[in-house]
Amino acid sequence: MADKKKKKAEGQEQPAEVIEKVAPRLREKYLQECIPQLIEQFSYKNIMQVPKPVKAVLNMGVGEAIQNIKVLEAAAEELTMIAGQRAMINRARRSIASFKLREGMPIGTSVTLRGEKMWFFMDKLFNIALPRVRDFRGVSATAFDGRGNYTLGVKEHIIFPEIEYDKIDKVKGMNITIVTTAQTDEEGRALLRLLGVPFRA
C-alpha cells in the first residue's frame, strides 16, 4: 500500500523550476546612467523627452540570389543566428532590366529587433562583435540621417560569435540601423556614445 502511494506521488507532475529572467544589462545602463547624463547635457524638462533606442534593423543584401536562391537561404539562416529572431526575405519592389531584376524577386534578408532582443543585440554588437573587427579604430560618428538614427556597415558578418567561419560558404556584409527617438543627430550621437558605441575620435 505504501509502495502504491509512493509511486503515485512520484508520478505526480512536479512544479516547473522557476528560471530567473536576466534583464538586459545595456537597458539597465541606459536607465541608471544614460538618462541622468542626457538630462544634464540637454536640459530636458521631463524624462519623456530623453531619447532612447526603439529598434535595430539588420539588413543583408544578397545580389547572387538572382542566380542562386540557396545563397539567400544561407544568408537568412546566418542572420537569424546573429539576431536571435527569424530573418525575413526581402523582395524587389520594381523591375530593373539592366540588373535582370524583376519585381518580386528575392534580393536580400532582414530582421527588426525591438524590446529585450534589441538591447541584447546592441550589447553584443558594441562590446563583442565590433572589437573583433581587424585593425578596429572605431566607427564613424557622422553616419546619422538628420533625425538621430544611425546606420553602421559591417563588412564581415563573422565578427559575430554565432558565425563559425568553417561552416559558412562565404563572408557576407550587412547594414545595421539603430532607430532612436532623438530629434537631432547631436542627441542621437550622445545617446549612442553613452550606450557604448565606439565612435572614432
Structural domain includes residue 141? yes
Range of the structural domain that residue 178 is part of: 25-195
d(CA 188, CA 173): 24
Dihedral in degrees, nearest 10, Cα atoms 111, 117, 119, 125: -50
On whether residue 165 sits in a domain, the answer given is yes
* Gap between the Cα atoms of 120 and 29, Å rounded: 12
Choose the weakest-confidence range: 68-72, 115-119, 138-142, 149-153: 68-72
180 located within any domain? yes
Segment among 6-15, 29-38, 44-53 with least mean pLDDT: 6-15
pLDDT in tens, 110-141: 999 999 999 999 999 999 999 999 889 999 99
Q: What is the pLDDT of residue 8?
A: 47
Closest CA to 110 of 144, 74, 130, 86: 86
Residue 51 placed within a domain = yes
Residue 14 placed within a domain: no
Q: Is residue 177 part of a domain?
A: yes
Strand partners, 111: 58
Residues 70 and 85: beta-carbon distance below 8 Å? no
Write out the E strands in the chain.
Answer: 53-61, 88-91, 106-113, 150-154, 174-180
Q: Is residue 19 part of a domain?
A: no
Whichever domain contains 52, its CATH number is: 3.30.1440.10
- Where residue 17 falls among pLDDT bands split at 50, 70, 90? very low
User: What total number of domains does the chain contain?
Assistant: 1
